[in-house]
Structure 1
Amino acid sequence: MTPRELQVWWDARLVGTLSQQDGRLGFVYAAPWLESATARPLSMSLPLRAEIFDDRAARPFFAGLLPEGAMRASIARMLHISARNDFALLDRLGGECAGAVTLLEPGQTPAEEATFTRDGGEGGEEGERVRWLDDAALLQLMEELPRRPLLAGEAGVRLSLAGAQDKLPVVVWEGRIGLPLHGTASTHILKPAIAGVEGSVCNEWFCMTLAARLKLHTAAVQVHRVAGRALLLVTRYDRQRLANGTIHRLHQEDFCQALGVPPEYKYQNEGGPDAAQCFSLLRQATRPSAPHLLALLDAMLFNALLGNHDAHAKNFSLLYAAQGAVLAPLYDVLCTAVYPELTDRMAMKIGGRYVFEDVMPRHWERFATASGLSAAQLKKRLATLAARLPVLAETLVAETIQQGETHAILTPILEELHRRCALTRARLERGA
């Protein structure tokens, strides 16, 4: 059977070729890329080499670019392809992915970076690279998303994002929102409310804003209202807006991709990465590592105290900046503990325990030891965050109410945060 091929581009440079033969993927770097003095690996799990990477090595990175779960199955049904066919999905969706990756058929080349003018138009090709949306058109797209995730199959649209939640990459420029077409880089991600998860937009906005108040490095978020409907608008940290109006892609990969773990195994209880592996990855990828290790620790402590049980390895990423790899800003933070229908098990263990209420000081010590951290310093930082978070959260809720943006979900989030922080402080004090 003749192999099918897609060329893999990093910005405007050809990195290599992704192939499929007998249902299995293969990836090989292009010789000119390997010979270049500026060549970098596409992934920590795909080091530079001339030999081909087989399915087992290649699949985690490339499958990690695709949507997951019911969203993936829905797209596959709509496009009349198998939900297990990573190659076919990348062929149809891989024009605008996370990071700097674009996948194209052999002979095609990526579109030039779009340059936007002050009035929101695209320089030289007005209307061809972005479909600007008024409120009615935007609402219509939001209504279509559950039936047609990522607008798969629409002419000129090849968009892919990991995760199982409905979302849409968009271009935001001078107050206007548009749909990127023909390989144009998006600048933001628009997330509607999650079906069956009450107040998810307000919940994620609050949690992300609270993280920023705590001085954690987070993706910028805001609530965007259209005809009374709340949407979460997230600024993409893997896009850079240059002074000349050009949107430039920055490469990134999540921790599962970097560790060579397929996306369906992202949870630790399914064989996915644990905290120790995440800290080890950062030590390997970043120089100097200390600030990134501390940032990851803060993020993990924050998720635990907040009640974000879905903080798995695909919700942490490496961002490849000019100075090298860095820990990407925090994203996808939601207090899941306030929803009784969602699991109370954390995505990663803390010292051998999945349930927060079972975590004692000795478990935090085990967590620190396994992760190569100082147990004393970890507990000191945990106590500090447990003391500061309730105060910051109370202030943020008061400001939200004053601005008229409040939602009923904030009350149980605040109660859960107070409870977890009080429990943690009491146990740390007894342990001391």
Structure 2
Amino acid sequence: MNIFDVYFNSLLAGQLTIDNAMRMRFSYAEDYRANQGEPISLTMPVSTKNHSDDVVFPFVENLLPEGEIRMLIQHQNKIEDGNFARFIELLGGDVAGALSIQPLGKSPEFEQIDATTELDDAALSQLLLDIQDRPFNIYPQQQAGNRLSLAGAQNKLPVIRKSGKTFEARNAPSTHIIKPPRKDGRFKSLVYNEYICMKAAEIAGIQAAAVSLLEITDVNGLESDALLITRYDRVLPDHSNNTAQIIKRLQQEDLCQLCSIPSTMKYEVNGGPGFEALFAKINEFSLIPVKDDIEALRRIIFNLIIGNYDAHAKNFSFLVTSNGNTSLSPAYDLVCTELYENLDRTFAMSIGETQTLDTLTEASFKQMFEKINKKFSTIRKQLIKFADSSLKAVTSVVSDFREGDFYQSDIQAADKILKIAKTNHQIVLKSLRAA
């Protein structure tokens, strides 16, 4: 039996219990309930004290890394299959959202930013190199068609950024995530691919996580760029006064968690949530459902334009703001998967009965809108206009990228993304327009 304390920021929300069969239970602390604390999940209201494995397990499992990163951590730390308690010991301190899962009796760390370890260029570059073999900077035995799944295909380093300086987060809440280029050479130009797609999404009018390129230099003096992502599930401290520089966590849940589906079922073809489930959760939880409906539809169109066929249930999340309002989180992990020829091109979530772009028709959209209980005729013109805006945004970002100091192979990748967007734009427009 393993017992963990679960904190919502600095408040002890309750205890997570994992038995020898890896069944999970969560119980809210009486003081937390009495003080009307925030639910640790929208699927686990505080009004109910005890929550069982069918809801708790998928919620917790989806907080952990997946794919090849999970397998690498498992191998390096000699973790048996299904031993989620050990994963939580290693990784529970700084997960997505507002929670920190700690060993029984241990409190989360809330160091002041200036008290953490600053990373100079050499130290940062070494850490980014190390995490290729040691994901999330975990040391062995530390206490406390193929698809592209970014959580598994691209490693990440959580850090704290302040005034252009980088600090090692350890267990303190991180403010940024750095994705370095892959050391093994797979998915070439992936850093620039995601940078272009994320920037284009923002220009097109999608709410997207802020990204930039961070130049790093390895021990041999070789320069490269990593992707620097600002965490939207963190509230940065006010640097204008001398109060303690504490970072606050905001609660976030992805669609798998809200549907109580484990990450292994994130694709609709594997039994995971589709667009019908996404819009149902928007209607159930969003403060302004109509606004999030439009945002979700824009993301569907944008993903089609850029050739991102890996927009699965874990790539749609809901954010609970500091005032308790819930809405779709900013978009993240937007990538042109079509750039890589060996990746599956079937849709992670089908559009109507359609699963590939080359079979997309007006009937596909009508079927999808019927499933989500929306009127296609009332939104058709907006989606056509947004498809045009999406292509214009990709064109603008790629044009700026060409002017940068990049390798020719990376410029060629950017040009190919634009070519894909132009081709897909025509297919999408044809499917949206009335015959």
The alignment's TM-score, normalised by the length of structure 2, stands at: 0.90
1:157, distance to aligned residue in structure 2 (A): 8.9
More displaced stretch, 149-158 vs 67-76: 149-158
Secondary structure of 1:204's counterpart equals helix
Asked if 1:58 is matched to 2:46, the reply is no
User: Could you tell me whether the CA contact under 8 Å between 1:27 and 1:53 is conserved in 2?
Assistant: yes
| 2:139 alignment partner in structure 1 | 153
Find the aligned partners of 1:289 and 1:428 in 2 and give their Cα distance: 23
- Give the aligned CA root-mean-square deviation in angstroms: 2.0
User: Could you tell me whether the CA contact under 8 Å between 1:266 and 1:314 is conserved in 2?
Assistant: yes
Find the aligned partners of 1:152 and 1:58 in 2 and give their Cα distance: 25
User: Could you tell me whether the CA contact under 8 Å between 2:310 and 2:337 is conserved in 1?
Assistant: yes
Find the aligned partners of 2:101 and 2:396 in 1 and give their Cα distance: 46
1:6, distance to aligned residue in structure 2 (A): 0.3
Find the aligned partners of 1:242 and 1:132 in 2 and give their Cα distance: 18
Find the aligned partners of 1:373 and 1:367 in 2 and give their Cα distance: 9
Find the aligned partners of 2:79 and 2:177 in 1 and give their Cα distance: 26
Q: Partner letter of residue 72 of structure 1?
A: R
Secondary structure of 1:40's counterpart equals coil
The within-5 A match list for 1:6-405 is 6-23=4-21, 24-37=23-36, 39-112=37-110, 114-116=111-113, 122=114, 126=115, 130-153=116-139, 163-164=151-152, 165-181=154-170, 183-194=171-182, 195-227=185-217, 228-244=223-239, 245-321=245-321, 322-405=323-406
User: Could you tell me whether the CA contact under 8 Å between 1:151 and 1:157 is conserved in 2?
Assistant: no
Secondary structure of 2:412's counterpart equals coil
Find the aligned partners of 2:395 and 2:85 in 1 and give their Cα distance: 48
Secondary structure of 2:51's counterpart equals coil
| 2:427 alignment partner in structure 1 | 423
User: Could you tell me whether the CA contact under 8 Å between 1:292 and 1:327 is conserved in 2?
Assistant: yes
1:97, distance to aligned residue in structure 2 (A): 0.9
Q: Partner letter of residue 358 of structure 2?
A: E
Q: Partner letter of residue 98 of structure 1?
A: A
Label 1:337 to 1:188 Cα distance change in 2 as closer, same or farther (>3 A). same
Secondary structure of 2:419's counterpart equals helix
1:12, distance to aligned residue in structure 2 (A): 0.8
Runs (5+) with no aligned partner, structure 2: 145-149, 218-222, 240-244
User: Could you tell me whether the CA contact under 8 Å between 1:64 and 1:263 is conserved in 2?
Assistant: yes
Secondary structure of 2:139's counterpart equals coil
Find the aligned partners of 2:106 and 2:35 in 1 and give their Cα distance: 21
Find the aligned partners of 2:159 and 2:81 in 1 and give their Cα distance: 25
1:190, distance to aligned residue in structure 2 (A): 0.4
1:395, distance to aligned residue in structure 2 (A): 2.1
Find the aligned partners of 2:121 and 2:45 in 1 and give their Cα distance: 45
Secondary structure of 1:346's counterpart equals coil
The alignment's TM-score, normalised by the length of structure 1, stands at: 0.91
1:236, distance to aligned residue in structure 2 (A): 0.2
Find the aligned partners of 2:105 and 2:399 in 1 and give their Cα distance: 57
More displaced stretch, 81-90 vs 267-276: 81-90
1:260, distance to aligned residue in structure 2 (A): 0.8
Provide Cα deviations, 1:314-350, integer angstroms capped at 9, x if missing partner: 1111111114111100000000012110011110000
More displaced stretch, 329-338 vs 85-94: 85-94
Label 1:83 to 1:149 Cα distance change in 2 as closer, same or farther (>3 A). farther
Find the aligned partners of 1:337 and 1:205 in 2 and give their Cα distance: 15
1:22, distance to aligned residue in structure 2 (A): 2.0
| 1:119 alignment partner in structure 2 | none
Q: Partner letter of residue 206 of structure 1?
A: I
1:15, distance to aligned residue in structure 2 (A): 1.0
